[in-house]
Amino acid sequence: MMAPMLVFVLTVVLLRIEPIRGLESGASDTRRRAPEASSTPAGPPPKRYNEALRLSNLFYYAQRSGKLPANNPVPWRKDSALLDCVVGGFYDAGDHVKFGFPFGAAMTMLLWGVVRFRDGYVYAGQLDDVYTISKWGLDYMVNSWDPFREELVIQVGDGDIDHQFWGRPEDMTMPRPCLKIGVNRDGSDVAADYAAALAAGSIVFREKGDVQYARELLLTAESIYDFAVNNRGLYSNTLSAAQQQYYRSTNDKDEMCVAGVWLFKATGDDKYLYQAELAAVRGHREAHVRGGYRSFLKGWQPGGFVQYTPCGLAWSEQTYWGSNRHAANVAFAALVAAEDGIAPEVNRKWAAEQINYILGDNPHDGGCFSYEIGYGNKYPLRPHHRAASCPDPPATCDQRNLNTDNPSPHILYGGLVGGPILNDGYNDTRPDYVHNEVALDYNSGFQSALAGRWRCNTLL
Ligand X SMILES: *[C@@H]1O[C@H](CO)[C@@H](O)[C@H](O)[C@H]1NC(C)=O
What is the size of the binding site for ligand X (CB under 6 A)?
Answer: 4
Nearest to ligand X of 73, 425 (CB atom):
425
Nearest to ligand X of 191, 314 (CB atom):
314
Three-state DSSP class for residue 390: coil
Under rule CB under 6 A, residue 422 binds ligand X: no
Under rule CB under 6 A, residue 427 binds ligand X: yes
Nearest to ligand X of 103, 426 (CB atom):
426
Under rule CB under 6 A, residue 381 binds ligand X: no
Nearest to ligand X of 8, 308 (CB atom):
308
Under rule CB under 6 A, residue 425 binds ligand X: yes
Residue span binding ligand X (CB under 6 A) among the ranges 130-138, 165-173, 219-227, 421-429: 421-429
Beta strand 178-182 with 145-146 is unpaired
Nearest to ligand X of 265, 382 (CB atom):
382
Three-state DSSP class for residue 455: helix
- Residue 200 and residue 214: Cα distance in Å, rounded? 10
Under rule CB under 6 A, residue 25 binds ligand X: no
C-alpha angle with apex 86: 85 to 90, nearest 5 degrees? Answer: 125
Beta strand 98-99 with 178-182 is unpaired
66 beta partners: 80
Q: Does the N-terminal peptide bond of residue 46 adopt cis geometry, omega within 30 degrees of 0? A: no
Q: CA 329, 335, 339, 341 torsion: positive or negative?
A: positive
- Residue 452 and residue 359: Cα distance in Å, rounded? 15
Please state the closest distance from residue 435 (CB atom) to ligand X, in A. Answer: 6
Nearest to ligand X of 396, 427 (CB atom):
427
Torsion, Cα of 224, 137, 260, 243 (10° steps)? 70
Active site includes 428? yes
Residue span binding ligand X (CB under 6 A) among the ranges 103-111, 302-310, 336-344, 418-426: 418-426
Three-state DSSP class for residue 124: helix
Three-state DSSP class for residue 146: strand
Three-state DSSP class for residue 370: coil
DSSP one-letter code for 418: -
- Residue 86 and residue 90: Cα distance in Å, rounded? 11
Residues 64-103, one symbol each (x = binds ligand X by CB under 6 A, - = not), give: ----------------------------------------
Nearest to ligand X of 161, 421 (CB atom):
421
- Residue 170 and residue 393: Cα distance in Å, rounded? 10
Please state the closest distance from residue 426 (CB atom) to ligand X, in A. Answer: 5
In 3-state terms the chain splits into helix, strand, coil percentages (rounded to 5) of 55, 5, 40
Active site includes 437? yes
Torsion, Cα of 120, 122, 126, 130 (10° steps)? 80
Three-state DSSP class for residue 315: strand
Helices (DSSP H) in 63-184: which residue ranges?
100-116, 118-124, 127-144, 159-163
Please state the closest distance from residue 327 (CB atom) to ligand X, in A. Answer: 16
Contact in structure between 344 and 338 (CB atoms under 8 Å): yes
Nearest to ligand X of 268, 425 (CB atom):
425
Selected catalytic residue, list 95, 119, 254, 428: 428
Under rule CB under 6 A, residue 122 binds ligand X: no
Selected catalytic residue, list 216, 340, 437, 441: 437
Helices (DSSP H) in 164-284: which residue ranges?
188-208, 211-230, 253-267, 270-276
Q: How far is CA 172 from the centre of its chain?
A: 25
Binding ligand X (rule: CB under 6 A), the pick from 60, 375, 426, 446 is: 426
Nearest to ligand X of 11, 436 (CB atom):
436
Please state the closest distance from residue 73 (CB atom) to ligand X, in A. Answer: 33
Residue span binding ligand X (CB under 6 A) among the ranges 204-212, 316-324, 425-433, 451-459: 425-433
Please state the closest distance from residue 424 (CB atom) to ligand X, in A. Answer: 9
Please state the closest distance from residue 291 (CB atom) to ligand X, in A. Answer: 37
Please state the closest distance from residue 425 (CB atom) to ligand X, in A. Answer: 4
- Residue 208 and residue 391: Cα distance in Å, rounded? 39
Please state the closest distance from residue 418 (CB atom) to ligand X, in A. Answer: 10
Under rule CB under 6 A, residue 421 binds ligand X: yes
Please state the closest distance from residue 2 (CB atom) to ligand X, in A. Answer: 20
Name the residues that contact ligand X, by CB under 6 A: 421, 425-427
Q: Catalytic residues, which ones?
A: 428, 437
